[in-house]
Structure 1
Amino acid sequence: MTVADPSTIPVPARRVPTTAAGIALACSAPIWAISVAAVGDHEGFGAASVFGGLAALAFQLSVLALLSVQQRSHAMGAGRVARVGYRVEVVVLGGALVSTILDMFWLVHGSVVWMIFDICWPLSMLGMLIIGIRVAIADRWTGALRWQTLFAQSWLVWALPLGAIPGVGLWGAVVQTILGYGGLGLLLARRQVITASAPVSQNPLS
């Protein structure tokens, strides 16, 4: 009796809905970007900090929804590195969520606890950049969705240089966020479903 190679046994195709995550991203990205421009330099607790915090929380939660879609559709592949990468990014993004709440209510600001969580925000954007590059290389997401994902999740690469250009400053990052994550949200909402399938056993680096 011949035993089939487990690596050749396909997993039944999985249909991953994208509409909810897409709508959330398309709506929250512009609101967060505009809030950064409007109240990003505000210090202290008040209406401005609450508005900015709520906008940031909405965006961060929509990014978590995006990560869920990417993970379930094997956008980076289905190997161990991909699985660990998603888990690490979720943890760091969770720290960024805590940082947003601390800033929203101006809690323990300037303390060691605050600094630990505050660093999670840029680290989470670095993680999204790495995931975006991996999604482009894996080629599981194709066409415009593949490259829009790379453009959106490379926010860190665009935001810092644009912010240093005289006459552009913060508005460059705002526009990139709207075009990047906002545009990615529209593509996901329009696509509605991504069909994903993967073999049971793959190269752990896939």
Structure 2
Amino acid sequence: MTIQHTPAPARTASPTPTPPGEVPAFRRHGLTLTAGATAWAGAIAVLGFDGPELAQSVEHTGSGLFQVGLLALLRVLWRTRALGEGRLARAALRVETALVLLAMASTVGAATHLDDLDRLGWALLDVCWPLSMAGMFLLGIRTAVAGRWRGVSRWWPMVAESWAFVVIPTLALRGEEAGRAVAAAHLVVGYAVLGLVVARKRQ
């Protein structure tokens, strides 16, 4: 009788490869962000911010897709502990997620023309949109400071998440035409590229 012994796999063995056809989690999240940012950029470039009702609905729908991408990005920040391991980092991500979700409710109202900014509830939801964007910028700064993401992924969140701080002054100082051009370009260069960077992350 022959007895065969199969050696135990070494601890340094490579992890099981991703099955064919299955997309790694970070790739899904990153491509969701890229798709959302590109959709909103296209809507802004073609339709602007203040067009007829139908155009506004399409633009708001694009911004809603972008917000879905933000949730995907926040999920990756959480899973990779990009802001650090502490309670404050986790609390910041929870607060930002809540702000994005509330901003999404405002976006749905705007896209369907059901919102009424003269009512307190809708006005508060509307405020969550700029607050969420400001929060993303702060998370970008913290990601760079924490240094848990390396290379271009350490700095690109801060570049992408400066969107509101670049676009709003441009709209105020240079008007609608310049503002929409800068808004669309910044979304592509910032968030759409960030999505591709995130899609390549392994940990």
Query: Unpaired runs of 5+ in structure 1?
Result: 1-15, 195-206
Alpha-carbon distance, 1:99 to partner: 0.3
1:33-62 residue CA offsets vs partner (Å, 9 max, x unmatched): 221341421354xx4343223212211011
1:169 and 2:179 are equivalent in the alignment:
yes
Residue 161 (structure 1) shift:
2.5
Cα–Cα, structure 1 residues 108 and 165, in superposed 2: closer, same or farther, change >3 Å? closer
Q: Is the contact made by 1:149 and 1:184 (CA closer than 8 Å) also made in structure 2?
A: yes
Match of 1:183?
193
**Residues matched between the structures, number:** 176
CA 1:137/1:192 → structure 2, altered by over 3 Å: closer, same or farther?
A: closer
1:95-153 C-alpha deviation (Å, 9 max, x unpaired) = 10000010011113222222111001000001001100000000001111111111011
Which residue pairs with 1:63 in the alignment?
Answer: 70
- Counterpart of 1:42 (choices 45, 51, 58) is 51
Please tell me whether the aligned partners of residues 64 and 90 of structure 1 are also in contact (alpha carbons under 8 angstroms): yes
What's the counterpart of residue 26 of structure 2?
A: 18
Gaps of 5+ in 2: 1-23
Q: Is this contact kept in 1: 2:38–2:188, CA < 8 A?
A: yes
% identical equivalent positions: 36
- Contact 2:26/2:76, CA 8 A, preserved across alignment: yes
TM-score norm. by structure 2 comes to 0.80
For structure 1, which segment, 142-151 or 109-118, has the greater mean C-alpha deviation from structure 2 after superposition? 109-118
- The answer to whether the 8 A contact 1:96-1:120 is kept is yes
The structure, 1 or 2, with the larger RCO (C-alpha pairs under 8 Å, 6+ apart) is 1
Larger Rg: 2
One-letter amino acid of the structure 2 residue matched with residue 118 of structure 1: D
Distance 1:168 1:39 in 2: 10
**Given residue 65 of structure 1, which amino acid in structure 2 is its aligned partner?**
A
Query: 2:152 is matched with which residue: 144, 147, 151?
Result: 144
Moved more, 180-189 or 153-162: 153-162
RMSD: 1.8
1:119 matched residue in structure 2: 127
TM-score by length of 1: 0.79
Which amino acid letter does the alignment assign opposite residue 135 of structure 2? G
Q: Is 1:88 the counterpart of 2:95 in the alignment?
A: yes
